[in-house]
Amino acid sequence: MYFKQDTGPARKQRRAFVIWATVVLGCVIALLTLMPVSVPKSLPGDDKLYHMLAFFGLTLPCAVIYPRALVRVVLAAVLYGALIELIQPTVGRSREMADLIADTTGVFLGAAIGWPLHHAFIAYLRKKATVRSDT
């Protein structure tokens, strides 16, 4: 059977979920990175790991579900990280280029891992459609 492009309510639900999850995660990132620091630092560099993981998580779902918008998503996420770094001194936090580098690394890792996951997801949908048509 020829695989019809993934359309319909399921696709819309997945996209809506990804949009909302991305917006919520973006708000959580803003909250955590713009709040005054009240917790003492633990290990050196762990802050950079958290930045990278946060922006990885911000980019990955969009890369999997919206590969055509990946360039815009990557650009928006990097600009978001830069905007946060510009705002941080106004709320008593320090501006660090290393944070922006960690944010950008997370964005590119999310895109680099999300792109092949998108193709795996499409292969899964094709297989699922083939199984349904055989029964």
Mean pLDDT of 69-75: 94
Say if residue 52's pLDDT is above 60.
yes
Mean pLDDT of 47-67: 93
- Are 129 and 3 in contact by the 8 Å Cβ rule? The answer is yes
Read out DSSP for 64-116? HH-GGGHHHHHHHHHHHHHHHHHHGGGGT----HHHHHHHHHHHHHHHHHHHH
Say if residue 127's pLDDT is above 90.
no
State the pLDDT at residue 39.
Answer: 60
Q: What is the pTM of this model?
A: 0.82
- Kindly report which listed range (5-14, 89-98, 105-114) carries the lowest average pLDDT score: 5-14
